[in-house]
């Protein structure tokens, strides 16, 4: 197991797994530290086709009793991806967890490049045509523990999109993050920007309200 508990905790510089979400979120929001931590993980593996944290999170972080958190098996994720098929460049997923399914979609997009596929070109042409800016991934997750891993997984793969911490049923949000790779480099990392809790961001994220909205209380 490449990314077992000892390995992940060692890279993050923590002595207990319960500290991982807080530490990882801190690293994701720091431009310099984020890049350094990505490079440390990539020294161990450069295979980005799957979620490195699958077993780690399931064993150490999943809140099965309180939030019924569990992972979608790799085989099921592959079947779901095949059923969805080609995309127009946009992807939406509620309850995204740490990102196993969105990674499958990203892997498909970069290998098949459906946006630029005219149905006549050979499959290998995608290496010349794939541009991260052609694809947009909007994901939602409620868990404080899963969200930092989701941001990691999107940013290290150079995705563009928004990760929203919210209840996907009530549409009440806690935070939102813009994941940005403004280049045609499929090997580039994405920036992560925490978005302000404004009415404009509510609209973009299709949310009803912000949880503990201080500005609304002040206006009242």
Please write the tens of the pLDDT for every residue from 138-193.
999 999 999 999 999 999 999 999 999 999 999 999 999 999 999 999 999 999 99
Q: How much is the pLDDT for 124?
A: 82
Q: Say how far apart CA 37 and CA 17 lie, in whole Å.
A: 17
pLDDT band with cut points at 50, 70 and 90 for residue 72: low
Mean pLDDT of all residues in the chain?
89
127-137 core/surface letters (b: 16 or more CB in 10 A; e: else): eeebebebbbb
pLDDT band with cut points at 50, 70 and 90 for residue 118: confident
Q: Say how far apart CA 149 and CA 20 lie, in whole Å.
A: 9
Phi and psi angles of residue 192, each rounded to the nearest 5 degrees, phi first: -125, 120
Higher pLDDT, 2 or 214: 2
Residue-range definition of the domain harbouring residue 99: 5-208
Measured in residues, the chain has a length of 220
Nearest to 174 by CA among 200, 194, 153, 152: 194
In a domain, 37, yes or no: yes
Q: Say how far apart CA 154 and CA 191 lie, in whole Å.
A: 10
In a domain, 213, yes or no: no
Lowest mean pLDDT among 4-8, 193-197, 201-205: 4-8
In a domain, 217, yes or no: no
Burial class (CB in 10 A: 0-12, 13-18, 19+), 34: buried
Check: CB of residue 21 under 8 Å from CB of residue 144: yes
Among all chains, which residue has been given the structure tokens 């930092």?
Answer: 148
Check: CB of residue 72 under 8 Å from CB of residue 104: no
Phi and psi angles of residue 15, each rounded to the nearest 5 degrees, phi first: -105, 0
pLDDT tens-place string over residues 27-71: 999 999 999 999 999 999 999 999 999 888 877 765 445 455 566
Across the range 73-98, mean pLDDT stands at 77
**Total count of domains within the chain:** 1
In a domain, 143, yes or no: yes
pLDDT band with cut points at 50, 70 and 90 for residue 87: low
Lowest mean pLDDT among 3-7, 9-13, 196-200: 3-7
In a domain, 216, yes or no: no
Q: How much is the pLDDT for 218?
A: 46
In a domain, 215, yes or no: no
In a domain, 218, yes or no: no
Max mean pLDDT among 78-82, 84-88, 141-145 falls in 141-145
pLDDT band with cut points at 50, 70 and 90 for residue 219: very low
Does the model's pTM come out above 0.85? yes
Query: How many H-runs (helices) and E-runs (strands) does the chain carry?
Result: 11, 6
Bridge partner list, 165: 141, 175
């Amino acid at each position: 197991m490449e990314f077992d508990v000892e390995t992940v905790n060692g890279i993050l510089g923590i002595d207990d797994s319960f500290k991982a979400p807080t530490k990882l979120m801190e690293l994701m929001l720091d431009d310099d530290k984020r890049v350094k931590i990505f490079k440390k993980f990539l020294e161990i593996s450069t295979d980005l086709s799957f979620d490195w944290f699958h077993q780690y999170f399931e064993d150490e972080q999943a809140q099965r009793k309180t939030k019924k958190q569990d992972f979608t098996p790799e085989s099921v994720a592959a079947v779901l991806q095949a059923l969805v098929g080609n995309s127009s460049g946009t992807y939406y997923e509620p309850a995204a967890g740490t990102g196993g399914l969105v990674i499958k979609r990203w892997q498909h997009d970069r290998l098949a490049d459906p946006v630029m596929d005219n149905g006549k070109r050979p499959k290998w042409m995608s290496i010349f045509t794939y541009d991260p800016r052609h694809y947009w991934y909007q994901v939602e997750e409620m868990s404080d523990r899963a969200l930092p891993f989701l941001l990691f997984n999107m940013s290290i793969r150079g995705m563009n999109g928004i990760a929203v911490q919210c209840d996907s049923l009530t549409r009440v949000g806690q935070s939102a993050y813009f994941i940005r790779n403004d280049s045609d480099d499929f090997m580039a990392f994405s920036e992560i920007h925490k978005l302000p809790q404004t009415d404009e961001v509510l609209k973009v994220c299709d949310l009803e309200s912000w949880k503990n909205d201080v500005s609304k209380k002040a206006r009242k």
